[in-house]
Chain A
Amino acid sequence: MASSMWEYANPTRFMQVSGRLLPWVAGAALVVTAAGLIWGFFFTPDDFRQGATVKIVFVHVPAAMMAINAWVMMLVASLIWIVRRHHVSALAAKAAAPVGVTMTAIALISGGIWGQPMWGTWWAWDPRLTAFLILFLFYLGYMALWAALDDPDTAADLTGVLCLVGSVFALMSRYAVNFWSQGLHQGASLSVQPGERMDIVFRMPLYVSMTGFGLIFVALVLIGVRTEIRARRMRALVMRERMA
Chain B
Amino acid sequence: MIALLVRDLRIATRAGGGFGLGLAFFLILVVLVPLGVGPEADRLAPIAPGILWVGALLACLLSLDRIFALDYEDGSLDILATAPVPLEAVVALKALAHWITTGLPLTLAAPVLGVLMHLPREGYAWLVLSLAVGTPALSMIGAFGAALTVGLRRGGLLLSLLVLPLYVPTLIYGTEVVRRGAEGLATATPLLLLGGITAGAAGLLPFAAAAALRVNLR
List residues of chain A with CB under 8 Å of any chain B CB. Answer: 134, 137-138, 140-141, 144-145, 148-149, 154, 157-158, 161-162, 164-166, 169-170, 172-173, 176-177, 179-180
Contact = CB atoms under 8 A, between A and B. Distances in A.
A149 B158 CA distance: 11
B148 A162 contact: yes
| SS of B interface (majority) | helix
Contacts of B168: 134, 169, 172-173, 176-177
Interface residues of B, number: 27
Contacts of B144: 165
B169 A176 contact: yes
Interface in B152-206: 152, 155, 158, 161-162, 164-166, 168-169, 172-173, 176, 190, 193, 197, 205
24 contacts: A134-B165, A138-B165, A141-B161, A141-B162, A141-B165, A144-B161, A145-B162, A148-B149, A149-B151, A149-B152, A154-B216, A158-B216, A161-B148, A161-B208, A161-B215, A165-B166, A172-B169, A172-B197, A173-B165, A176-B172, A176-B173, A177-B168, A179-B173, A179-B193
| SS of A interface (majority) | helix
Contacts of B169: 169, 172-173, 176
Interface in B118-176: 144, 148-149, 151-152, 155, 158, 161-162, 164-166, 168-169, 172-173, 176
Contact of B158 (A138, A145, A154, A179): A145
Nearest to B153: A148
B14 interface: no
Contacts of A148: 149, 152, 155, 158
B211 interface: yes
Nearest to B148: A158
B212 interface: yes
Interface of B: 144, 148-149, 151-152, 155, 158, 161-162, 164-166, 168-169, 172-173, 176, 190, 193, 197, 205, 208, 211-212, 215-216, 218
A173 B205 CA distance: 17
Given A148-B155, A176-B172, A158 B161 contact: no
A161 B212 contact: yes
A158 B168 CA distance: 21
A169 B176 contact: no
A183 to B, nearest CB: 15
A169 B141 CA distance: 10
Contact of A162 (B162, B176, B193): B162
Nearest to B218: A154
A157 B215 CA distance: 7
Nearest to B179: A180
Contacts of B176: 179-180
A133 B32 CA distance: 27
Contacts of B211: 157, 161
